[in-house]
């Protein structure tokens, strides 16, 4: 399946891997009568090779090329290397490569697959000439074939109908992650909605995404959210590097399945969507993890009475298989104490910015959890979820799809417990040898964003490395009214239930919401303050800063963008995601 049930009667399909005959099946459903109709057609794709020789062609994206190469032999792999003829000031002049793609030509097969190898080449400057060629490697990394001579390709200009913010950089970095990808918040700024872009470290644009990239995937695809007031319009979409939809579904299509499973429906999908990767490629490898918004009306909890009930917004973890079938869910209302309100009493007004939808019979709702990150942990098959308005990170028993959803542990200073207030297994925090000592009187993170286990959860002397962006809302409210946001590295021991705050870097500003943190190859932290100035500045003079902080807390590099960004990612290239 490539698209779930949706209102649109148009289907954009842009396969780019190999040529052949493909059959497309369409099912149309009448929602009122419950009737179905089906049809199909065969679509033939032909090779882009020129008399069997490599070719490079333009795509619908002016900064992305389609490179076609002859078939290569199993068990080898192929990539494309591309080099610019000239770059802007501060630009990347060294050659870059695509990801390695396994060859398909099996000489031992009775029906060998001799289809062409095709690559989207991305990460190129506008209006710039490039030399590019394919290279084939053995599984051990030995170069087998290098195409000669190079093919020439010139990128196009940035479209005039797109808007980009001003970028400016200061400082320097030694880390090889030379690309910064911006996941822009689509709030109009002076009448324009900015387009998410990837830049070099000087702020020169290398790529842009029609749908803001919430997460990137191996090979260059990215996930994002499709907006819409209709449940059969809004949803999630995986896009390729040229911006073409690859896989998508809608809230309406998900809710049909949730109802069939006896699970409460969702009002939206938000904040997180990413693909699951397992170490050995076994299921649930390739499944999709996302967060859905839920709601529950209460006459007893969080100020609700029989005379004046309250609408409480919750969250649901949803795991979909590769055909967008719901295979596992986790409803926070079933596992957490509904009587524990949001730490700072956050509420949502109908249609309010930063809030998920809720039923129209209420003018406001309690924004109980506001979950903003979920990560599958390949080392034990479970899922962590960050709850901004509870100041906690929870680990949930997914167990590779067989888990009962119980909460394995809680990390954070928030008091929330299980149903009825039962205590949850919790960590003790230490600050031994913490680098960057600002506000250690309140060491705990609060209203955090993007907590992620790094290095695939690898153990270092019993500890796993977690990074997170500490927005600091609670710390500012109860400890220091002038507090800045911080970027943190935590050493987490799940056996002893001890966490040590290794790095506590002051990013030099306060980001009311959003943000991101990640480890870089040189051991530094990249930290995104995505919402400096908050809603007061969002429509006129927004600001995002992406800084690099050493583990001692010192900031050595900053990229300023005149926009608000949900996350920014420091990347080696557009094909290698961080923390997949």
pLDDT in tens, 390-429: 999 999 999 999 999 999 999 999 999 999 999 999 999 9
Q: Which residue ranges form the domains of the chain, and what is each CATH number?
A: 55-154 (2.60.40.10), 211-419 (no CATH)
The H-or-E segment that residue 255 falls in is: helix 251-260
Beta-bridged to residue 464, according to DSSP, are: 492
Is the previous residue joined to 75 through a cis bond, with omega within 30 degrees of 0?
yes
Which single residue is written with the structure tokens 């500045």?
Answer: 537
User: What would the mean pLDDT of 254-273 be, rounded to a whole number?
Assistant: 97
**Position 31 pLDDT exceeds 90:** no
**Closest to 447 in 3D by CA, of 416, 412, 423:** 412
Cα-flanking dihedrals φ and ψ of residue 332, to 5°? -60, -30
Q: Which residues, in sequence order, are CB contacts of 430 under 8 Å at separation 6+?
A: 498, 499, 500, 501
**What gap in Å lies between CA 546 and CA 351, rounded to an integer?**
30
Q: Which residues pair with 209 in a beta bridge?
A: 196
Residue 80 contacts residue 53 (beta carbons within 8 Å):
no
What pLDDT was estimated at residue 11? 84
Query: Measured at the alpha carbon of residue 386, what is the angle toward residues 384 and 392, in degrees to the nearest 5?
Result: 105
pLDDT digits (tens, 9 = 90+) for 322-359: 999 999 999 999 999 999 999 999 999 988 888 999 99
- Do residues 358 and 365 make contact, with C-beta atoms less than 8 angstroms apart? yes
At 556, is the secondary structure helix, strand, or coil? strand
Identify whether 12 is preceded by a cis peptide bond (ω within 30 of 0): no
Find residue 578's DSSP bridge partners: none
Reduced to 3 states (helix: H, G, I; strand: E, B; else coil), residue 213 is coil
Q: What DSSP element (H or E) covers 555? A: strand 555-561
Name the average pLDDT for the chain.
96
CA distance 216 to 442: 34
Name the strand (E) or helix (H) holding 477.
helix 473-478
pLDDT digit string, tens, across residues 65-107? 999 999 999 999 999 999 999 999 999 999 999 999 999 999 8
């Amino acid at each position: 399946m490539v698209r779930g049930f949706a209102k649109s009667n148009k289907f954009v399909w842009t396969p780019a891997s190999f040529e052949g005959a493909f059959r497309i099946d369409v099912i149309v459903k009448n929602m009122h009568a419950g009737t179905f109709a089906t049809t199909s057609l065969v679509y033939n794709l032909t090779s882009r090779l020129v008399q069997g020789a490599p070719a490079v062609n333009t795509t619908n994206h002016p900064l992305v090329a389609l490179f076609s190469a002859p078939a290569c032999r199993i068990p080898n792999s192929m990539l494309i290397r591309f080099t610019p003829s000239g770059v802007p000031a501060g630009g990347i002049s060294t050659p870059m490569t695509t990801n390695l793609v396994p060859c398909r030509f099996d000489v031992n097969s009775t029906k060998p697959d001799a289809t062409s190898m095709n690559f989207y080449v991305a990460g190129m400057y506008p209006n710039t000439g490039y030399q590019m060629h394919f290279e084939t490697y053995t599984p051990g990394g030995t170069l087998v074939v290098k195409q000669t001579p190079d093919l020439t390709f010139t990128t196009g200009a940035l479209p005039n109908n797109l808007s980009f913010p001003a970028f400016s950089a200061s400082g320097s970095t030694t880390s090889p992650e030379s690309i910064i990808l911006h996941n822009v918040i689509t709030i109009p700024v002076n009448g324009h909605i900015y387009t998410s872009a990837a830049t070099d470290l000087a702020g020169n644009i290398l790529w842009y995404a029609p749908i803001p990239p919430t997460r990137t995937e191996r090979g260059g695809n990215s996930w994002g959210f499709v907006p819409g007031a209709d449940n059969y319009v809004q949803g999630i979409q995986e896009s390729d590097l040229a911006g073409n939809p690859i896989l998508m579904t809608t809230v309406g299509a998900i809710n049909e399945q949730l109802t069939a499973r006896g699970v409460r429906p969702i009002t939206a999908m938000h904040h997180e969507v990413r693909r699951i990767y397992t170490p050995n490629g076994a299921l649930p490898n390739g499944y999709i993890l996302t967060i859905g918004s839920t709601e529950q009306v209460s006459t007893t909890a969080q100020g609700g009475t029989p005379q004046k009930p309250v609408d409480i917004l919750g969250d649901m973890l949803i795991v979909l298989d590769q055909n967008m079938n719901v295979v596992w869910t986790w409803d926070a209302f079933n596992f957490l104490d509904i009587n524990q309100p949001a730490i700072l009493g956050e509420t949502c007004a109908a249609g309010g910015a930063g809030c998920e939808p809720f039923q129209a019979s209420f003018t406001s709702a309690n924004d109980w959890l506001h979950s903003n990150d979920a990560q599958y942990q390949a080392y034990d098959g479970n899922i962590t979820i960050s709850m901004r308005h509870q100041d906690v990170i929870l680990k949930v028993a997914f167990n590779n799809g067989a888990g009962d959803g119980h909460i394995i542990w809680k990390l954070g200073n928030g008091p929330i417990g299980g149903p009825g207030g039962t205590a949850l297994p919790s960590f003790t925090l230490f600050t031994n040898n913490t680098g960057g000592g600002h506000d250690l009187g309140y060491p705990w993170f609060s209203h955090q964003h993007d907590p992620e286990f790094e290095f695939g959860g690898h153990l270092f002397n019993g500890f796993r490395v977690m990074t997170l962006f500490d927005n600091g809302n609670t710390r500012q409210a109860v400890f220091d009214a002038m507090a800045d946001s911080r970027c943190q590295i935590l050493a987490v021991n799940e056996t002893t239930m001890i966490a040590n705050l290794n790095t506590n870097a002051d990013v030099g500003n306060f980001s009311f919401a959003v943000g991101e943190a990640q480890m870089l190859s040189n051991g530094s932290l990249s930290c995104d303050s995505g919402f400096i100035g908050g809603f007061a500045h969002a429509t006129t003079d927004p600001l995002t800063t992406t800084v690099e902080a050493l583990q001692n807390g010192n900031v050595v590099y900053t990229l300023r963008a005149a926009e608000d960004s949900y996350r920014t990612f420091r990347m080696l290239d557009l094909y290698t995601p961080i923390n997949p």
